[in-house]
């Protein structure tokens, strides 16, 4: 698989749910969710997933996922940049996972299916909870209850069982089975904040939860400093009056992240970044008519992703920054987006052996750079 960690099928599922429901393609989405409804719970049991008696059913579910993914890719070509990117990745990855299973890599397939929860979370942290009614429930409560707490939190989040997810994350924060450092390093604090801020639009609940978490004896001094800044940010934003537009709000929030007297690094400013990205996604629900505004919104989303994205391989920064360039190639924001995209990709392909940007990636960069230099037709 070109990017094993990407595993974007579930991410595309989440992003597409609202668009497809509104466009009357409920049948197609129902088929995708039916496949995932079977695969996700089964992947949690190694013995069942490896049971020859389940092989035919697994093959059928993977075939359904791959077939629906190809149809999703077709529709995605006509949609906005982010959805197009994700639907294309869905089609490629779904076909690849199916081929791996058919080749006999059963344990690898099981692992890849399980990892879909991470990409589901990456997507569902962008969707307002009010849209949950459009998305079928993949996991029943009895399925969730028998899982270990950390798996319950992630699977509930990934399958839109948001209240169960919140309760599970809060139980994790109080659990003595995990150190405070482990909870931070494994991303549970980030997931919880994303769920509260971007999905639920709730700033008070996480402030109270973090205050309780800070009373634990084991947070390191560095983590305590971050908790203090996050709690202060949550309470400041809860008192903040709404801006005249979501784009204006995002600009103001991101400007404040540059205040070195308040935030030593992007991690300290996580709450502000999450609130800004939430505003930008609200702004893009109905894309603006002005190309420059559209380009700026995509550029800011790409910039946020490069700052607080959890992984180079899971990042949507490329899609956002490319969309910014294509939306208004002659606007100054396009050059800023290109510079950031180039920096991001070069850094991602740089290691101990030096810089090795793949030829296809370099060709794409060159084509995007040429767009910013092309004269625009006059009317």
Distance CA 379, CA 375 (A): 13
What's the pTM value of the predicted model, to 2 decimals?
Answer: 0.80
- Mean pLDDT in residue range 198-221: 95
Distance CA 37, CA 34 (A): 5
Distance CA 77, CA 260 (A): 42
Question: Could you tell me which of 258, 359, 280 has the C-alpha nearest to residue 324?
Answer: 280
Do 198 and 124 meet the contact criterion of CB atoms below 8 Å apart?
no
- Number of Cβ within 10 Å of residue 166's Cβ equals 22
pLDDT digits (tens, 9 = 90+) for 318-371: 889 999 999 999 999 999 999 999 999 988 888 767 778 888 889 999 999 999
pLDDT over 70 for what percent of the chain? 77
List CB contacts of 124: < 8 A, sequence separation 6 or more. 14, 157, 158, 160, 199
Six token digits for residue 161: 């069982």
Six token digits for residue 154: 């992630």
pLDDT digits (tens, 9 = 90+) for 289-305: 899 999 999 999 999 99
CA–CA distances in Å: residue 353 to residues 3, 24, 365: 20, 50, 22
- Mean pLDDT in residue range 139-154: 75
pLDDT at 371: 93
The sign of the CA dihedral 87, 93, 94, 95 is positive
pLDDT digits (tens, 9 = 90+) for 238-270: 999 888 899 999 999 999 999 999 999 999 999
Do 303 and 253 meet the contact criterion of CB atoms below 8 Å apart?
no
pLDDT digits (tens, 9 = 90+) for 151-193: 888 878 877 788 999 999 999 999 989 999 999 999 999 999 9
Do 231 and 214 meet the contact criterion of CB atoms below 8 Å apart?
yes
Residue boundaries of the structural domains of the chain: 1-120
Phi, psi of 350 (to 5 degrees): -110, 130
Six token digits for residue 128: 């307002």
Distance CA 116, CA 139 (A): 14
CA atoms within 13 A on the CB side of 26: 7
Which helix (H) or strand (E) segment is 351 a member of?
strand 350-351
- Helix, strand or coil, per DSSP, at residue 354: strand
């Amino acid at each position: 698989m070109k990017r094993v960690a990407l595993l974007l099928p579930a991410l595309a599922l989440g992003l597409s749910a609202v668009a497809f429901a509104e466009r009357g393609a409920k049948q197609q989405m129902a088929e995708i969710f039916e496949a995932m409804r079977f695969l996700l719970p089964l992947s949690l049991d190694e013995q069942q997933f490896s049971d020859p008696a389940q092989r035919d059913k697994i093959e059928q579910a993977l075939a359904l996922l791959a077939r629906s993914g190809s149809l999703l890719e077709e529709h995605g070509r006509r949609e906005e940049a982010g959805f197009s990117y994700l639907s294309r990745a869905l089609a490629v990855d779904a076909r690849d996972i199916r081929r791996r299973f058919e080749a006999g890599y059963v344990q690898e397939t099981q692992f890849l299916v399980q990892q879909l929860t991470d990409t589901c979370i990456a997507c569902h942290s962008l969707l307002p909870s009010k849209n949950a009614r459009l998305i079928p429930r993949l996991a029943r409560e009895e399925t969730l209850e028998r899982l270990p707490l950390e798996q319950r939190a992630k699977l509930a989040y990934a399958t839109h069982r948001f209240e169960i997810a919140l309760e599970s994350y809060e139980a994790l924060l109080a659990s003595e089975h995990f150190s405070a450092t482990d909870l931070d390093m494994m991303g549970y604090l980030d997931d919880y904040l994303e769920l509260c801020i971007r999905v639920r639009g709730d700033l008070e609940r996480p402030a109270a939860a973090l205050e309780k978490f800070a009373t634990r004896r084991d947070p390191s001094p560095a983590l305590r400093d971050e908790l203090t800044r996050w709690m202060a940010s949550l309470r400041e934003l809860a008192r903040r009056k709404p801006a005249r537009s979501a784009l204006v709000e995002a600009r103001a929030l991101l400007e404040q992240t540059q205040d070195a007297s308040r935030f030593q690094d992007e991690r300290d400013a996580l709450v502000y970044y999450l609130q800004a990205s939430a505003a930008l996604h609200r702004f893009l629900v109905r894309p603006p008519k002005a190309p420059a505004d559209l380009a700026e919104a995509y550029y800011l989303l790409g910039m946020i992703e490069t700052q607080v994205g959890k992984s180079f391989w899971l990042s949507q920064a490329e899609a956002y920054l490319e969309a910014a360039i294509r939306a208004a190639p002659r606007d100054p924001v396009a050059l800023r987006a290109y510079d950031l995209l180039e920096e991001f990709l070069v850094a991602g392909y740089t290691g101990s052996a030096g810089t090795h940007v793949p030829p296809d990636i370099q060709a794409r960069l060159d084509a995007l750079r040429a767009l910013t230099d092309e004269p625009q037709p006059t009317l």
